Chains A and B, each alone.
Chain A
């Protein structure tokens, strides 16, 4: 760690991991409710569990992004953070607001929460992923503005690198697009149209810039490849992401009442969305192969490569599966979507946050470069357990989805929704088992922060011998 103020990232990363654990617990509850419908009813109904599962995901990823920014921006800008105090203050504001919101979901019926928080003054609640009470949304905007100010001032008065600028553009885009969460037109078509400007343009637009810049940063640090080379790749990947991702929003405009040309725009451009992810995979492996040194933190490199591969599979391949409008006609809103959502969020965004945590955390906890061998081996186990079980979750959901689409929508004698749900229950059970394995991986991950923390740091001779 070269700058004192980078240490604020530790708070953000710790919170991110905690919320991640919460997300997985609610995921398991939710997964069980698919097959045991009244599990934990009426304490935690299905819709609440789902809301908590998805909202926690978004919040912990945001904590991760902010932590990543606080860590890498000072190092790139070669100066201390503009205001570490503001960063700490905003951490607590965000954490308390997030915790209160989740408690609100769990303790108060949703309509009651809406009434309590004055939703009728400025109605913004009730839309998937944007369920937060209006007051929480305002809090998010304040936190985001303070965060951007802090990061922006640091970048503007320091060394300007491509990594920093791409990250700043991504974070600014994230904040600006969130403003559409406040726009809630009466017309349902328009409502959905702009809702996607938050949801789609986040995950298939600006978040990819954040992902790209964090990945580039970790690769620069761990491989020692020339910054110029990595920056060029970053430019090209970002350009392709924006070209395909922005117009690719059209793949959500097939069936909501928007004009017909979206069938074409959406299909053509989103069919190409895998390209930037593919480039990212080529990029990551290329840089690691051209490495000038074997970094001692091998598990961070593993996470970086894993991110590149899993993002391509989850976001690229599984997205492509159902993105063409003639296919999507049958598959939209089915378990195929859930399969894509799981692998894409894990592969792209959960893993990039875990990558930067894996790279940065050892140094913030007093190591020179890396954790002890024992700790790294444990973390690698957690990598494989979580990643492989996520692959299985995705495959089981894909199986469920294909069967669902066939029985419910494609066959000559379509069956009702709930009848089909009974028939695909086996897939849901298998998914739940894979989910338990994922939880085991997460437990090992958390354990890796404590196991071997007294051991000596992984050393050069041990690190250099096994690799070619």
Chain B
């Protein structure tokens, strides 16, 4: 039991470091003023990935079966499609 939760603790620390690094990447993209649809959609994809990491590891949905296993992913997919479509169609509308 103890080693188990210690392992989980270590995994979460790793996830935490990944989340911090990905956040820095997003910030650097903004900082460099990178533009264009591929950049924008990549930033969105990174955000969705971070969201899924939160859902799986921090919220613990990794160990859940059925609907709740996918609840956060479904939400992220919905947000991703809606926001992605809007940005896709507004690119080049400057």
Direct contact of A and B (CB under 8 A): no
Interface residues of B, Cβ cutoff 8 Å to A: none
